[in-house]
Chains A and B, each alone.
Chain A
Amino acid sequence: MTDKRAEFSLSYEQVGDGAATLITISGELDLGSVSELEQALDRASAQGGSLALDLTALRFMDSSGLRAVLLSNERFNADGRRLAIAVGDDSPVHKLFSMAGIEERLPLFSTRQDALTFAEGAAE
């Protein structure tokens, strides 16, 4: 029987009249689910524009997710594009970024809307 706690879901949409991509993920992000996120990040990178990544509904994330987010941030920055990441307040994901000591290296936001506003603003 599948443990529902591990269920991972991802949605991908264009926002801001197509100038930005919004990827929303929920459930648990680890080695078993990160490939789906990586594929979505590759797609957003190829699509152009900025990216908002909503992690606020994640129940769990480990270093597999950290790696995917960091590498994507480097790629977007190298292309002169912005990646905005919504992590919530005092969430497991926010705590993980803090523990890893990389909060200052990434554009983290409390809410999905704040991340979208930043991403769409950078896309103008």
Chain B
Amino acid sequence: MEVGNRSTSEPVRIDLPVDSDSVAAARHWAGDYADRVGAPREDVELAVSEAVTNSVVHAFPEASAGGTISLVAEVSGSSLLLAVSDDGVGMRPNPDGDGLGFGLPLIASVTEQYGVEKATDGGSVMTMRFRRGEVR
């Protein structure tokens, strides 16, 4: 869907299964959309990669339980808005993790604004805002 210089767009969405291959699929989908709307592709790719990785690794502790990770992208004025949501178990402390925890700080580094909310179905929604027309 071409957006070009339009200041608003209908949201576009992709649903992906919970597996490690979805990280690249989500990243490429979001990166292609960023290119079309003039948002910084590298920043969008990194942020989406981190957000989807978080969902795959932390939101679905029962690997056999299935689940869905969804991305929604839309243009709003001078911004690209991306939401990564899952229908997993939500954010929980992970005492068994190695605690390197680079994901959220990297998202913070490349976004204008970001936030995490509890979804109504118990999963999580991470929303991210990128400025259009700027290359870092």
**B59 contacts partner chain A, Cβ-Cβ < 8 Å:** no
Q: Are A6 and B24 in contact (CB under 8 A)?
A: yes
A31-B23, A99-B109, A100-B106 known; A63 and B42 CB under 8 Å? Answer: no
Using known A-B contacts A6-B24, A60-B27, determine if residue A30 contacts B100 with beta carbons closer than 8 Å. Answer: no
B56 within 8 A of A: yes
B109's nearest neighbour on chain A, judged by CB, is: A99
Majority secondary structure of chain A interface residues (helix, strand, loop or mixed): helix
The winner among A3, A63, A66, A95 for most chain B CB atoms within 10 A is: A63
In the complex, A71 has a CB within 8 A of chain B: yes
Q: Shortest Cβ distance from B108 into chain A, in angstroms?
A: 10
Question: Any chain A CB within 8 A of the CB of B89?
Answer: no
| Residues of B with C-beta under 8 A to A99 | 106, 109-110
Task: Say whether, besides A62-B46, A96-B46, A67 and B25 are in contact (CB < 8 Å).
Answer: no
Docked pose: A17 CA to B53 CA in angstroms: 39
| B residues at A contact (CB < 8 Å) | 20-21, 23-25, 27-28, 42, 45-46, 49-50, 53, 56-57, 98, 100, 102-103, 105-106, 109-110
- For chain A, give the interface size range: 20 to 34
- Interface, chain A (partner B; CB < 8 A): 3, 5-6, 28, 30-32, 60, 62-64, 66-67, 70-71, 92, 95-96, 99-100
**Contact at B53–A6, with CB atoms within 8 Å?**
no
Q: Which residues of chain B are within 8 angstroms of A62 by Cβ–Cβ distance?
A: 23, 46, 49-50, 53, 106
Q: What's the Cα separation between A30 and B26 when bound, in Å? A: 12
